[in-house]
Every structure is written in C-alpha cells, then in structure tokens.
C-alpha cells in the first residue's frame, strides 16, 4: 500500500523536526535535485537538508543559526525531490517552512526586507517605485546591443556577470486598463502579476487579445496585488498572507467566474492560498478564491482554442519547444495543455527536448542569492534545448522567461524565448 501523503504543519519547531524525520535517507532525491547536480554537496539536496534540520539543536533552531539559514537557502523549491520520494516526504514544503522558521529573526538584507514588507503589499507604493525606476534607470542601466530586444544590463554592486534586466514599461498595464469601462457581464477575471504589469504589458495585452478573440469578456480588478510567491518562498511570515488577503478581496465581487492567471508561478500560488490561513473565515474565503483559479493554458484548452480551424499560420521555419515551469508541471500537474495549444498552430514544428523535467534555475529569488549556481542549472537545460536544435523556447512563467532571457544572453545564444500568449496571439488577424 502506498504511504499516506503528509501535509506539513508549520506551527512549531517540533512539527518541522517531525516532518524532516520522515525521510528514510534512501537518497533517491539526489539524482533529481538541480542544486546537488551542480554542486555535488550533500547538504544541498533534500536528504542533506532534512537531515541537518533534524539534527539541529533546539538552540540553533531558536536562534536561527547562520548555518541553518544558509543550508535552507540552497533550494529552488522546485519540488523534484517530493515528486520522486518513495516516502512522500514533501521536501520543498519542509524547506520552505524551515525558511519561515529561520528567517523570522530578520536575517534578510534591509533593502530586500523593506521591499517585501513595505512596498510589495501596497499597489500605490509599487507604482511609486515604478515611477522612480523609470526616472533613474537611464542613469543605472546600459543599453545592450542585442537583437533580442532586451535591452538593459544592470550593474549589480557585487555582480561581475552583468545580468540582464529588462526595461520597465512607461505605463503599468493595470493603470492603463483600469481606465477602461469594465464589461457588464464578464466571463473571466484576469490576474496580471508584477512582471507583466511593470515590465511586459505586451504579454498581458496578447492574453487579452486571445480571450477577446474567443469572445470571452474579461474584467481586470484594479485592486489586485502581487501574488506573494516571492515572499512565501523566502519565508517572510505574514507578507504573503497580506498579499493573499488583498487579492481575495479584489476578486470577490467577480465570484463565481474563473480567475485566469498567465504566469504559472502566480497561478500555482493563487491555487494554494487556502493553505496560508489558519483562521476559519480567511481559510474559507481563500478556498473559494483558489477554486476559481485557472492557469492560462488550462483555461484556453478548456475553452477549445486548439479546435479553431481558422487560425493564421505562423512563421513555418520555427522549431519550438515548451519549457515546463516547475510551478506548472509539478505543482499543478499541467503538461499536455500548452503542448496541444502550440501543436494546433499551423507552421509550428513542435519538438520535445527529452529533458522536460529540468528546472531552468530561476527558483523565485534563488537566482538573485545564488546566481552562479542558477546559471549552471540553466546551462544544463540549455544543452538539452540545443541538442534538439530548437530556435524558440516557449514558456508560461515570468520567472522562467526572465531566467532564459538572461541565461541566453550570458551564453551568447541566438535562441528566442517567448511567452505562450505571444505565440498564440500571432495566429489570428487583428
């Protein structure tokens, strides 16, 4: 009989230790952990982390020792260990909860902490920061001569690599669209997410075009905020819940229509909101919200996008593959839908790379805190893409998209990366 699935309860240190103790040290997770594969250090696979968490002294846990904080930072929360574990140990969930426990002692850098606690939860402040970014970025960023269209490299103080960060948009998507009259009888509500709102509004516009093409009228609640996944991943207690409450309240008036999110990390986190709350009232409100959430690929597939016969063919020289975001494939179990949607496009040569399970190395804030390892993980994914002779990588997570854009730039590759909506949006006349 398969073992019973375990749900992690973060309430106490005892629970943290108890969950970690379910690991039987078989070592299967080592073979799939992207971090362990690159570093070869046992402490960086789930087995090593869980073992160290388990063996940590109560004092170390209470004081959030430097050693523990560092150990739990080496994780993408990709879920590969949980997927392969014969004892159904939720390695990623335990590590996330361990971060919550160890990070409670204010160990994060001040700017990061200020951003997460005093800016992210407040859309008006986010807009203020965006305005400041627009004014100051010409002073901070240099134009990169690249035909990718991407455009800026940012000299991070301790970063020798000059990672790419894209240009901020002049007008956030939500601001622009909140001026439009909402439809009287919408059939879907759109969750936009920070990257699309401030950096890639064109992707949100492509999503809107596609939905309108399918005659789905869309309402975009203006009060929506960041989904909270980055705060959740770093373990900063409370901020993720504050953001979840804002979003739940913002979408409540649209009940019961589906809430469509086109970043798979956002849709995955939105679907899990109810797990953030202990209080009955918020748990129930969150559950109602989460049950309405659909990832864009799932929603389009259910709406029958792939069955249209009048789609315009796209550039037939393209060899496309779909990069599965961990938050889509592992956390939502969605694999077929984006493939069926892409295969329905005339002119597309869809290829699998044979390494669909590989993470791209983004991992929320992992690629900020462990940039070199993150790039090595990316290179492994890139090798499989090059072997398959792919010229366009399609994905549906903004974190993966940014990781690919930077990784391809660092490796000087001419491969394109596109959001699913950008490819599907090319298939009908405007």
Interface ranges with ligand SF4 (CB under 6 A):
23-29, 32-35, 45-47, 50, 75-81, 85, 87, 89, 91-92, 95
User: For residues 269 and 228, is the Cβ–Cβ distance under 8 A?
Assistant: yes
Q: What is the CA radius of gyration of the chain?
A: 21
* CB-nearer residue toward ligand SF4: 196 or 367: 367
Distance (Å, rounded) from C-alpha 113 to C-alpha 69? 15
Instruction: Single out the residue of 322, 324, 313 nearest to residue 388, CA to CA.
Output: 322
Distance separating alpha carbons of residues 290 and 5, to the nearest angstrom: 21
Smallest gap, in angstroms, from Cβ of residue 247 to ligand SF4?
Answer: 25
Backbone phi, then psi, for 425, in 5-degree steps? -70, -15
In the complex, minimum distance from the CB of residue 72 to ligand SF4, in angstroms, rounded to a whole number: 9
Structure tokens given for 320: 């496309």
Q: Smallest gap, in angstroms, from Cβ of residue 275 to ligand SF4? A: 17
Nearest distance in Å: CB 28, ligand SF4: 4
Residue 289 host element (H or E): helix 280-292
Rounded to the nearest whole angstrom, what is the least distance from the CB of residue 100 to ligand SF4 in the complex? 15
- CA 306/CA 415 separation, integer angstroms: 25
Q: According to DSSP H, which parts of 74-183 are helical?
A: 80-84, 91-102, 110-114, 123-140, 173-178
For ligand SF4, the closer of residues 78 and 108 by Cβ is 78
Q: Report the residue number, 36 or 277, with the smaller CB distance to ligand SF4.
A: 36
Minimum distance between the CB of residue 11 and ligand SF4, rounded to whole angstroms?
A: 22
Q: Which is nearer to ligand SF4, 96 or 396 (CB)?
A: 96
Neighbours of 42 (CB within 10 A): 14
Residue of 261, 252, 239, 328 whose CA lies nearest to 287: 252
Element (H, E) at 211: helix 201-213
Nearer to ligand SF4, 56 or 220 (CB): 56
Residue number, 243 or 377, with CB nearest to ligand SF4: 377
CA 27 vs. chain centroid, Å, equals 27
* Min dist. Cβ of residue 40 to ligand SF4 (A): 13
CA–CA separation, 128 and 345 (whole Å): 40
Nearer to ligand SF4 (CB atom), residue 77 or residue 164: 77
| Close Cβ partners of 113 (under 8 Å, ≥ 6 residues apart) | 106, 236
Work out how close the CB of 83 gets to ligand SF4 at its nearest, in angstroms, rounded to a whole number. Answer: 8
Q: Which is nearer to ligand SF4, 68 or 126 (CB)?
A: 68
């Amino acid at each position: 009989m398969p073992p019973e699935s375990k749900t992690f309860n973060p309430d106490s240190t005892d629970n943290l230790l108890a969950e970690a103790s379910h690991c039987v040290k078989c070592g299967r997770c080592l073979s799939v952990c992207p971090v362990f594969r690159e570093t070869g250090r046992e402490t960086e696979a789930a087995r090593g982390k869980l073992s160290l968490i388990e063996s940590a002294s109560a004092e170390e846990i209470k004081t959030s020792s430097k050693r523990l904080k560092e150990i739990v930072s080496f994780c993408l929360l990709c879920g590969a260990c949980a997927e392969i574990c014969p004892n159904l140990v939720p390695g990623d969930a335990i590590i996330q909860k361990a971060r919550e426990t160890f990070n409670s002692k204010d160990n994060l850098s001040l700017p990061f902490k200020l951003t997460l606690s005093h800016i992210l939860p407040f859309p008006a402040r986010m807009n203020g920061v965006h305005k400041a970014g627009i004014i100051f970025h010409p002073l901070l960023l240099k134009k990169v001569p690249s035909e990718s269209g991407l455009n800026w490299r940012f000299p991070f103080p301790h970063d020798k690599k000059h990672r790419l960060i894209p240009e901020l948009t002049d007008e956030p998507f939500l601001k622009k669209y909140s001026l439009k009259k909402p439809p009287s009888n919408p059939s879907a509500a759109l969750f936009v997410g920070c990257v699309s709102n401030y950096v890639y509004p064109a992707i949100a516009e492509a999503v809107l075009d596609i939905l309108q093409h399918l005659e789905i009228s869309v309402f975009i609640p203006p009060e929506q905020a960041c989904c909270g996944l980055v705060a959740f991943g770093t373990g900063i207690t409370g901020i993720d819940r504050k953001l979840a409450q804002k979003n739940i309240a913002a979408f409540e008036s649209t009940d019961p229509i589906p809430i469509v999110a086109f970043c798979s990390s956002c849709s995955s986190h939105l679907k899990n909101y109810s797990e953030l709350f202990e209080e009955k009232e918020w748990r129930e409100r969150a559950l109602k919200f989460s049950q309405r959430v659909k990832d864009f690929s799932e929603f389009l597939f259910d709406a029958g996008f792939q069955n249209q016969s009048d789609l315009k063919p796209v550039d037939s020289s393209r060899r496309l593959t779909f990069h599965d975001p961990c938050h889509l494939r592992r956390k939502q179990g969605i694999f077929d839908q984006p493939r069926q949607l892409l295969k329905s496009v005339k002119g597309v040569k869809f290829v699998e790379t044979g390494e669909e399970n590989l993470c791209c190395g983004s991992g929320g804030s992992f690629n900020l805190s462990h940039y070199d390892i993150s790039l090595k993980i990316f290179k492994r994914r890139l090798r499989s893409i090059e072997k398959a002779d792919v010229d366009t990588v399609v994905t549906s997570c903004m974190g993966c998209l940014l990781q690919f854009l930077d990784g391809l730039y660092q490796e000087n590759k001419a491969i394109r990366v596109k959001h699913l909506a950008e490819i599907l949006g090319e298939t009908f006349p405007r």
